Amino acid sequence: MRGTRFGRAIKIAGLAAVVAVSASGCSFQEVIRFGWPEGVTPQATEMRHLWTTLVIASLVVGVIVWGLTVWTVIFHRKRGDGELPTQFQYSLPVEIVSVVLPTIIVAGIFGYTVLVQNDVDKAVAKPDVKVGVNAFQWNWEFTYPENPTGRDIRTLGTSGTIPILVLPTDRSIEFTLDSKDVIHSFFVPEFLFKRDVFPDPEKNNQDNTFVIDKIEKQGAFVGRCAELCGSYHSAMNFEVRALSPDLYDRYLKLRTQTNPITGVPNSAGEALAALNCGELCAPQAITTYPFHTERTQRGASVRTNS
């Protein structure tokens, strides 16, 4: 009777889990990402695998612990006969299992984490592309040091323009971070990676460079400041625009060419528009939009008029 009840509870829990997953319309891949975005770099995939492994390992341990807890509560309640259930203190096998098993699990988690972290943090002697990331309250400037055109190319975000960091797919990219004022954080969710951007990284003893092996697909990916850095922190967005290597090389060249209308070298938006490759080359950010700087002013003038 009791066994049947327990079996039924297990079946209902299993059924509820299946319904929860299938009713949400999630694919198997989405389910095992456990809420993480789909990464676009090999390192992102590695980190996602680590995350999936850790969550599944935690769930296995959790289900065993919850199952034992429920089993104990239901089947070993205090009964009227006053008899104690079987006692297990000083049981060497139980104690060995409860010490050795968690130690093995923690060592495994630690080892796997170190392997992934080392790969994510590894330096590359000769990256294909170098990018400078300069953060300031409350925007970003991106530079392309040692680029093949030999010219100074930089993209500066303003209150009205989201800066677009154009990058190539299928090439290794080294990012060097620097801040002009306070601590910011460079975060691209699709890279599954963020790193604090310190002023004076050397003095602060910070490793301010990181490398991604490659971006695996073309597209627009939002980037954000992930460190509360002042009043307009939430407006400190940018966009990574990943283009094929061929388009990227043309983009860099276009950035050095003088725009016949403005008389100065093409801006990021103008160079993207000149590439003429549809939405991928949209001259403005498509994943985020600039902060509406006028709204405070408008609010103030309404207050003045009333």
The binding site for Cu ion (CB under 5 A) comprises 184, 225, 229, 236
Q: Report, in Å, the least distance between residue 236 CB and Cu ion.
A: 4
Strand partners of residue 240? 165, 221
Asked whether the beta carbons of 255 and 268 are under 8 A apart, the reply is: yes
Q: Report, in Å, the least distance between residue 138 CB and Cu ion.
A: 6
DSSP 155: E
- Closer residue to Cu ion (CB): 229 or 281: 229
- Closer residue to Cu ion (CB): 50 or 165: 165
- Closer residue to Cu ion (CB): 6 or 232: 232
> What's the CA gap between 227 and 218, in Å, rounded?
27
Asked whether the beta carbons of 285 and 223 are under 8 A apart, the reply is: no
> What's the CA gap between 199 and 104, in Å, rounded?
41
- Closer residue to Cu ion (CB): 211 or 236: 236
- Closer residue to Cu ion (CB): 143 or 259: 143
- Tell me how far CA of residue 49 lies from CA of 55, 146, 148, in angstroms: 10, 34, 36
Asked whether the beta carbons of 172 and 127 are under 8 A apart, the reply is: yes
Q: Report, in Å, the least distance between residue 121 CB and Cu ion.
A: 22
Note the helical H segments in the chain.
2-23, 28-33, 42-75, 92-121, 245-256, 268-275, 294-305
DSSP 72: H
> What's the CA gap between 188 and 221, in Å, rounded?
7
> What's the CA gap between 41 and 210, in Å, rounded?
13
- Closer residue to Cu ion (CB): 215 or 225: 225
Q: Report, in Å, the least distance between residue 182 CB and Cu ion.
A: 7
Q: Report, in Å, the least distance between residue 289 CB and Cu ion.
A: 17
Q: Which two tokens stand for residue 184?
A: 């910011």
> What's the CA gap between 276 and 256, in Å, rounded?
17
Q: Report, in Å, the least distance between residue 24 CB and Cu ion.
A: 34
Asked whether the beta carbons of 193 and 210 are under 8 A apart, the reply is: yes
- Closer residue to Cu ion (CB): 167 or 236: 236
Q: Report, in Å, the least distance between residue 204 CB and Cu ion.
A: 16
